[in-house]
Structure 1
Amino acid sequence: MSLVETRPRPLLGLILTGQFMAILDVSIVNVAAPTIQADLAASGAELQLIVAGYTIAYAMLLITGARLGGRSGYRRWFLAGLAVFTVASLLCGIAPGAATLIAFRLLQGAGAALMVPQVLSLIQVGVPQTGRARALGIYAAVISLAAVGGQILGGLLVTLDLFGTSWRPIFLVNVPIGLALLWLGARNLPADEPQPGRGLDLPGLLTLSLATSLVVVPLVLERGWVFMIAGALVFAGFVVIQRRAAHPLIPGRLLRVPGLVAAGVAIFGVMAVYGGFLFSNALHLQNDLHDSPLRAGLTFVPMAGAFALVSLNWKRIPARLHRRLIVSASVVVALGLVALAGVFSGGGHGLPYLLIALAVIGAGMAGAFSPLMTVALARVAPADAPDASGLLAMMLQLGQVVGVAAFGTLFLSGGSISITMVCLAATAVASAVAARWI
């Protein structure tokens, strides 16, 4: 019996609220970043690790989180990840310095990596084929609302400076929500149906984690290309290990699903644009244009509204046109970014053109991302749903990590916001090219 048939709206509401919190903590830190940097005297590299450290751990452990869910139960690992995430949020909120905040952000990302893959797996396995597109549309809308909602909520909490706590409530707000979800989840999530035959592939996990660290961390810290080349070589070793593993993290049959690899590459590109865009623009609005955190957050409302609107309505387009929609929408994102580069080149906000460009970018991102998830998972067998969900979620989060690291480094090292927008536009075009192969 399907998930929707057994516990429809309350259950989807519960797991999507967990998803909402996990995405919220990517974006809520963006708008608070200048305040955190000033309060903790953090360097530019430390600030990027505070923002990206969460998604580094998140990206590295997502496939493992998906495998654990498929092996011993989605309910168990959703609740375990939620518990770790909630405790880590409390620790982030009371962190005394930049180094400890980075450490607790890594722990928070690990909790999210255990929790989030269960959401996509439950949708893929539990929702009937006829309702899956709508469920994934809601999933994409939740991601959008959380992303921009984080900007607004972060700006509001920093501006209110509750009890003189400055930026700390952006993490502490997760604690009561997490406790409520733990109680509701323990009572309402369906019993697990574990599959003990699915192993963990520890060598693959360690190799993939090392490869990711060697590529991303030096990129954030600006420590040269040697480590990144080493990371590429370690990743090649990971591919060899996967071919020989009894229970590979990424089964070979999954990579042979038509269009799945191309979809993963396109998702990586779209999310790299998304992560780099939010990080660089949050800093530009506050540091260069001297906006308050609240005003900076509210600036992204047109982008969120357009994203949500398209996410909930793209499925009205005939299925035969979905692949063309992905390519066209990625091009729209590129055009919006080029337009935004022109808006910022004048040195000010460029209103109302700034808001129009943001709406175009939001609509384009939704038109690319939402169909990508549906098209990528449509041909995946239910038995492979956990691994496919983990793979796509890893590409999604790894794209954000690389986006923050690469484009954040470009912006912080002296590149203008306009140059950064043009580079983001080139990445969006690359995503459109990848999407042609889906």
Structure 2
Amino acid sequence: MASAASPTGMRGQPLSASDHAAAMMPKRRQRALVVVAGAFMMDLIDLTIVNVALPSIQRDLGADTAAMQWMVAGYAVAFAILLITGGRLGDTQGYRRLFMTGMVGFTLTSLLCGVAVSAEMLVVARLAQGATAALMLPQVMSLIQVMYPPAERIGALAVFGVLGGVAAVLGPIIGGLLIEADLFGLGWRPIFLINGPLGIVGLIAAWRLLPPGKSGHDGSVDLPGTALIAATLLALMLPLLQGREAGWPLWCLILLASAPLLGLLFIRHIKRRAGTGTGLVDPVLFANRGFSIGLSISVCFQATTTGLLFILTLTLQYGLGCTPLETALVHVPYAVGASVAIGNIARKALPRIGLKLLFLGVAVMLSGLAVLGVLIWTDGGLVGLGAALLLMGLGMGLVGGPLGPVTLSDVDLIHAGSASGTMKAVQQLGAASGAALIGGLYFTLAGGLSPEAARNAFLVTLPLLACMLLVVGFLVTRLPRDLRLFKK
């Protein structure tokens, strides 16, 4: 039986991950799907779980506003930088091995977050947490590709589409519940410490259930490309996150000026490696109009939604005096709306009405944003805020659900892995940008975060969020109308 117990094939060659997966029984494959789905959820929840805990962390660790932004954006920046490299390492070192390596790192860095004794230590731990997640998460989709034949793969991936939409808004809910419970008098720390037992269970299950072996077509890791994109993103994000608190010193301006130059060097580098199969990103992808515009939409949309959730949790607690539990409960309708829209409405409506569905989603989100602003201004109560967030969640799902399939629709299958990794990295970059730009404007306007200042800062920031949604709508008009997705 050629399985995990048999290290070589008939010709003495090591068995690939696909060979091992082919020998898996259906029940084991289903259990393996649960393992990787759990890791997928854990990663996405940790991206936003810290939002609702920021006031508690600030009081406990004396964090300044720049540190608060880093706690949210730093995770996404580190994740975006290493995501594609993590996927390549899975090809060369083995998917199960990299998945487990990433999970060990993610578990340990989560524990470091939970025992942090200073804001600086927590920021560094969050950066490390994002970096280890970038080793773990790419293996999830790679393992799905390996374990499931094409006919069954669509159903498995559909599960992840629903989980992705729900997990993004579950973070604040779970965070609020854990903080309110104040387990063992630890306050905010259990939002990170809970990953310890979850990680141990996940590691044991991964070792027993996931197929070992490497890719049948090993790739190489583009270390110069990784270094260049890391330098570009840090030159951009470091001033945006630190500049306001530091008073915009000369080094911030120098870094901002160098970011475009570093970006050009990165573009030149990937063009030089085009066609070799060794580049971090194949530039031929960007000749695909649907893919390029889809990435632009993803950046703007992710920045908008992440920025909104970031400042909303702050406004609810600083501006309206909500407890972490009340903040969590207000987010529940958002999660419900997103899951319903992604899992039911978007999946059925996209083949029928095409890109009009994304316009509808933008319109619903704009309506929800307007209602949210009126309720914050008039102190309309938590029930009204929940109704507005239900509307926002529905709109988010109508845009976010179809956006991935639309972006990847016309990508050639030979570039599917690279395109998927690039799209996920861009989404993380959008999330980091939202925390940096929207959060930076909010903190500038909110000053000392008094109740009145926090509410006013939220209201002044809303028009910017509305403009960003209008940009999303405009970019949708630039998408090709004859995408393969809409052809029978």
* TM-score bracket for the superposition, by shorter chain length: over 0.9
Matched, 1:423 2:423: no
TM-score normalised per structure 2? 0.84
Residues in 1 aligned to 2:475 and 2:356: alpha-carbon distance in whole angstroms: 12
Map of 2:451 onto structure 1: none
TM-score normalised per structure 1? 0.93
The equivalent position to 2:265 in structure 1, one of 224, 237, 249, is 237
Map of 2:237 onto structure 1: 216
Map of 2:280 onto structure 1: 249
Could you list the per-position Cα deviations for residues 366-415 of structure 1 after superposition, in whole angstroms to 9, with x for gaps in the alignment?
11111111223344444433312210110111111000111111111116
The answer (yes or no) to whether the contact 1:327–1:433 under 8 Å persists in 2 is no
The equivalent position to 1:310 in structure 2, one of 341, 362, 370, is 341
Note closer, same or farther for the CA distance 1:86–1:9 as it changes in structure 2 (3 Å cut): same
Map of 1:367 onto structure 2: 398
Q: CA RMSD in A?
A: 2.2
Matched, 1:407 2:438: yes
Note closer, same or farther for the CA distance 1:410–1:130 as it changes in structure 2 (3 Å cut): farther
Note closer, same or farther for the CA distance 1:335–1:122 as it changes in structure 2 (3 Å cut): farther
Matched, 1:323 2:355: yes
The answer (yes or no) to whether the contact 2:362–2:399 under 8 Å persists in 1 is yes
The answer (yes or no) to whether the contact 1:204–1:238 under 8 Å persists in 2 is yes
The equivalent position to 2:53 in structure 1, one of 17, 27, 32, is 32
Residues in 2 aligned to 1:379 and 1:190: alpha-carbon distance in whole angstroms: 30
Q: Secondary structure at the match of 1:190?
A: coil
Map of 1:259 onto structure 2: 290
Name the stretch that deviates more: 422-431 or 83-92.
422-431
Point out where structure 1 has 5 or more consecutive residues left out of the alignment: none
Name the stretch that deviates more: 73-82 or 398-407.
73-82
Note closer, same or farther for the CA distance 1:377–1:132 as it changes in structure 2 (3 Å cut): farther
Q: Secondary structure at the match of 2:354?
A: helix
Q: CA deviation at 1:115?
A: 1.1
Map of 2:312 onto structure 1: 281
Q: CA deviation at 1:317?
A: 2.1
Amino acid at match of 2:341: V
Map of 2:77 onto structure 1: 56
Matched, 1:339 2:380: no
Matched, 1:146 2:167: yes
Amino acid at match of 1:64: T
Map of 1:433 onto structure 2: 474
Q: CA deviation at 1:168?
A: 0.9
The answer (yes or no) to whether the contact 1:136–1:370 under 8 Å persists in 2 is no
Q: Secondary structure at the match of 1:69?
A: helix
The answer (yes or no) to whether the contact 1:117–1:390 under 8 Å persists in 2 is yes
Could you list the per-position Cα deviations for residues 284-310 of structure 1 after superposition, in whole angstroms to 9, with x for gaps in the alignment?
000111100111111011110010111
Residues in 1 aligned to 2:97 and 2:290: alpha-carbon distance in whole angstroms: 31
Q: Secondary structure at the match of 1:166?
A: coil
The answer (yes or no) to whether the contact 1:220–1:409 under 8 Å persists in 2 is yes
Matched, 1:170 2:198: no
Q: Secondary structure at the match of 2:355?
A: helix
Matched, 1:297 2:328: yes
Map of 2:299 onto structure 1: 268
The answer (yes or no) to whether the contact 1:219–1:406 under 8 Å persists in 2 is yes
Residues in 1 aligned to 2:349 and 2:213: alpha-carbon distance in whole angstroms: 36
The answer (yes or no) to whether the contact 1:133–1:374 under 8 Å persists in 2 is no
The answer (yes or no) to whether the contact 2:365–2:395 under 8 Å persists in 1 is yes
State how many pairs are aligned.
Answer: 437
Could you list the per-position Cα deviations for residues 147-199 of structure 1 after superposition, in whole angstroms to 9, with x for gaps in the alignment?
33221221122122222211111100001011111110111112334256422
Map of 1:184 onto structure 2: 205
Residues in 2 aligned to 1:429 and 1:128: alpha-carbon distance in whole angstroms: 40
Residues in 2 aligned to 1:205 and 1:141: alpha-carbon distance in whole angstroms: 30
Q: Secondary structure at the match of 1:345?
A: helix
Amino acid at match of 1:339: V
Note closer, same or farther for the CA distance 1:38–1:181 as it changes in structure 2 (3 Å cut): same
Q: Secondary structure at the match of 1:367?
A: helix
